Amino acid sequence: MPRKEDRLLSSRELMSRIGLNEEDAAELREEAALDDLEGDLGAALRERFALLMTPQRFVPGDLVTWKPGLKNRRVPRYGSPAVVVAVLDQPILDSEHESGGTYFREPLDLVLGVIWDRDPGRGDFLTFHFDGRRLQPWQG
């Protein structure tokens, strides 16, 4: 007779054990797809590059959100606001050690505050460092 530990986990049980829920999984699937890009991939790359290179000036207290197609962190979610807590005069370069990593030497020049939406700590105000080039004013 198989022990409880030996039985196969359902996908929901597995997601729960690693801290994901249905909404997180849907978001990961949605953001992984390139099928919804309009036009060719080269045009999309040029468009995203132009968005990245379009400067924005922020001050503490501004509400910001991701520019389309430039989200590279889990929070905030697309369309959700974050508040600018500090604008750094000298960006901190992300200390990712692998040059192939997505954060390698990313210039982090903004400190943003978000309301954490996961347990533990759901509802807490947390701050994180971000690359301000990826953000735009939030239009609530």
Model pTM? 0.71
The Cα-based distances of 127 to 47, 52, 63, 80 in angstroms read 29, 22, 14, 15
Q: pLDDT of 63-106, one tens digit each?
A: 999 999 999 998 999 999 999 999 999 999 987 778 787 778 88
Q: Is 84 inside any structural domain?
A: yes
Among 3, 2, 20, which Cα is nearest to 11's?
A: 20
Continuous segment of H or E residues that includes residue 107? strand 107-115
Report the domain count for the chain.
1
Q: pLDDT of 33-66, one tens digit each?
A: 556 666 688 888 999 999 999 999 999 999 999 9
Q: Which CATH number belongs to the domain containing residue 71 in this structure?
A: 2.30.30
**129: containing domain:** 56-137
Q: Is 71 inside any structural domain?
A: yes
